[in-house]
Amino acid sequence: MAHNTIAIVADCDDTLAPDTTGQLIEALGTPAKEFFDDTMAPLVREGWDPSLAYMHRLAGRFPELTLLQLQQIAQQLRFYPGALAFSHD
C-alpha cells in the first residue's frame, strides 16, 4: 500500500527561520514593528498571553487571509543557512 508523507512544521521558537511571524506580517503589507507595538502590545499590557494576542489581532486585522496566500508567503520565507538540509538516514 502506498502512503503519502504529510507534515506540518511549526517553527514556534524560530529555530528554522528568523522571526517567521514578522515575515508573515510584513508579507501582508504591514511593518512588523508597527503590528507588534501598536496592534498587539495593548492586549499584552492588558494581560493577554503574547501568542494569543498575536493570533487574535492577526485574525482581526487580516480577516480575508486565505490558505493560498499563506502558501505563497511560506514559499518566500527566509530560512537560516542549512535549515532545510535534512538527513533521513
pLDDT at 80 over 70: yes
The answer to whether 28 and 62 have CB atoms below 8 angstroms apart is yes
Mean pLDDT of 28-56: 91
- Model confidence pLDDT, tens digit, residues 45-75: 999 998 889 888 888 888 888 888 888 888 8
The rounded distance, in Å, linking the Cα atoms of 27 and 70 is: 10
- Domain extents in the chain: 20-74
